[in-house]
């Protein structure tokens, strides 16, 4: 009897997580987590804001030198993010 309750809860969670809007937001949250992992703790302190919109990752940096350096590594960062989450979500990165 108890197993049925777990299965129904599992089914409910699957239905909720498969909703397109929620699934997209969860994927975008994972992208934002990945950028912190890829850049590391030292560079993460220079990020003042980050968000993703329409496949474009916007990262606001407090250092113009870092912004310039990361712009040269943009394609590599995009590849790393998409590879780590096993989906092609990020199409471009804008450093501001």
pTM of the model: 0.74
Asked whether the predicted pLDDT for residue 4 surpasses 80, the reply is no
pLDDT of amino acid 1: 44
Stretch 77-95: mean pLDDT:
89
For 15-26, the pLDDT digits (tens) are: 777 777 777 888
The CATH number covering residue 51 comes to 3.30.300
Distances (CA, A) of 29 to 3, 5, 35, 70: 32, 30, 10, 21
For 28-82, the pLDDT digits (tens) are: 888 888 888 888 888 888 888 899 888 899 999 998 898 999 999 999 999 988 8
Q: How many domains does one find in the chain?
A: 1
For 49, phi and psi rounded to 5 degrees? -160, 150
Domain with 82, as residue range(s), is 2-95
């Amino acid at each position: 009897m108890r197993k049925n309750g777990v299965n129904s809860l599992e089914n409910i969670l699957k239905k909720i997580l498969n909703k397109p809007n929620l699934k997209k937001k969860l994927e975008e949250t994972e992208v934002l987590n990945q950028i912190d992992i890829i850049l590391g703790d030292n560079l993460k302190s220079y990020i003042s804001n980050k968000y993703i919109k329409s496949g474009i990752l916007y990262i606001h940096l407090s250092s113009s030198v870092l912004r310039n350096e990361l712009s040269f590594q943009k394609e590599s960062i995009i590849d790393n993010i998409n590879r780590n989450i096993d989906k092609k979500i990020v199409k471009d990165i804008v450093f501001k």
